[in-house]
Amino acid sequence: MTPGFALPADLQARRLERWQQTPTTRIPDADAAALLIKRLGLVTLYAVSPEIPNLFHAYVGDPQAKPAAEWESPSGEVYGWRWALGRQEAAFYTAIVRSRPTWVSWTLLPALLRLRGPLQTPEELYRAGELSDNAQRVAQALAASGGVLSTGELRQQAGFPTGKSQRAAYLKAVEELDTRLMLAKVFAQDDTDMRHALVATRYPDAVAAAEALTMDAALDQLLQVYLPAAVYAAPVVLAKHVKLPERLLQARLERLVETGTVTAMPLPGYKGTCYVWQG
């Protein structure tokens, strides 16, 4: 949304209430955060996109609040929820929205994998020239482990020794896999070290469900979860921040116009047509 433009007050108020970012609807703890993720489907840890809800603003009940780089603060409390939510496997966790930490409900995960993941193996992508040597090494190390690896273990087994340049190469390789939704972040019960796992190995049922979906069906599932709480959709921004196919997203929203589910209209501060939920 462009700064300096105000949305209609009723739309903004409804969105904030349904995203639980008001003083009367705010969430009190990690258990409530798990329920919020289950209901909203796609939630970031902190605010990284105006079109996606986040746990920090839901916890403080104020969409204008800024996180502080301190453990003894609301943002520090929310940061700690990563382990509480991760250890109970409340949702899928990896870098999605603008490549930042994001939670995805288990019911929505197959749709996101279909929309974002190539659904080919790392080896197939590598042979097609769509995956770098370094990313392939990371994927091979995880596959050979048969499970999950800590960051230190993964760097060692993938052949990225210590050093600034090696760390940069490793992070770039991980980002390649993250962008394709091929990596998941998982948490152990007995320490605070975040671990990595291949999605296809860790969540084969979700991958199989994704493979059974068409792109249109996956977008429909996403919109069925997203629209009732978001109140309106701005496809240009939503597609960019979640890396969705904009043309297909626009087409599915136009189909919802035909059924009377949404109304197409311009909204202040947004480029292109927006779509307002009629429920």
Q: Which residues contact 32 (CB under 8 A, 6 or more apart)?
A: none
Q: Return d(Cα 119, Cα 241) in angstroms, integer.
A: 21
Whether 238 is covered by a domain: the verdict is yes
Q: At residue 113, does pLDDT exceed 90?
A: yes
User: What whole-number percentage of the chain has pLDDT above 70?
Assistant: 98
Whether 191 is covered by a domain: the verdict is yes
241 and 261 share one domain:
yes
Q: Which residues contact 267 (CB under 8 A, 6 or more apart)?
A: 7, 8, 11, 232, 234, 274
DSSP for 35-50, please give it: HHHHHHSEEESS---T
pLDDT average, residue stretch 56-76 = 94
Whether 155 is covered by a domain: the verdict is yes
Last residue of a domain, one of 66, 86, 106: 106
Whether 13 is covered by a domain: the verdict is no
pLDDT, one tens digit per residue, over 14-62 is 999 999 999 999 999 999 999 999 999 999 999 999 999 999 999 999 9
Strand order in the sheet with 232-233: 232-233, 274-277, 262-265
pLDDT average, residue stretch 212-226 = 97
Give me the residue label for tokens 């433009």: 5
DSSP for 188-229, please give it: -SS---EEEEEHHHH-HHHHHHHHT--HHHHHHHHHHHHHHH
Whether 32 is covered by a domain: the verdict is yes
Residue 2 binned pLDDT confidence (cut-offs 50, 70, 90)? very low
Whether 28 is covered by a domain: the verdict is yes
Whether 5 is covered by a domain: the verdict is no
Which pLDDT belongs to residue 193?
78
Residue 247 binned pLDDT confidence (cut-offs 50, 70, 90)? very high
Which pLDDT belongs to residue 5?
52
Residue 253 binned pLDDT confidence (cut-offs 50, 70, 90)? very high
Query: Two tokens at 69?
Result: 């780089």
Give me the residue label for tokens 């994998």: 113
Q: Return d(Cα 59, Cα 65) in angstroms, integer.
A: 10
Last residue of a domain, one of 207, 226, 254: 207
User: What whole-number percentage of the chain has pLDDT above 90?
Assistant: 83
Phi and psi dihedrals of 20, rounded to 5?
Answer: 60, 45
pLDDT, one tens digit per residue, over 166-184 is 999 999 999 999 989 999 9
Which pLDDT belongs to residue 4?
44
The number of folded domains in the chain is 3
**Cβ atoms within 10 Å of 263's Cβ, excluding its own:** 13
Cα→Cα distances 25→59, 62, 229, 269, Å: 9, 10, 13, 26
Torsion angle of alpha carbons 184, 188, 192, 197, nearest 10°?
A: -20
Tell me the average pLDDT of the chain: 93
Whether 40 is covered by a domain: the verdict is yes
Last residue of a domain, one of 65, 85, 106: 106
Which pLDDT belongs to residue 58?
98
Q: Using the Cα atoms of residue 218, residue 226, residue 6 and residue 55 in order, give the sign of their dihedral.
A: negative
Cα→Cα distances 276→15, 60, 89, 235, 265, Å: 11, 27, 33, 11, 7
pLDDT average, residue stretch 106-129 = 92
Q: Return d(Cα 221, Cα 219) in angstroms, integer.
A: 5
29 and 91 share one domain:
yes
Q: At residue 259, does pLDDT exceed 50?
A: yes
Q: Can you give the residue range of the structural domain that contains 244? A: 211-277
Which pLDDT belongs to residue 3?
46
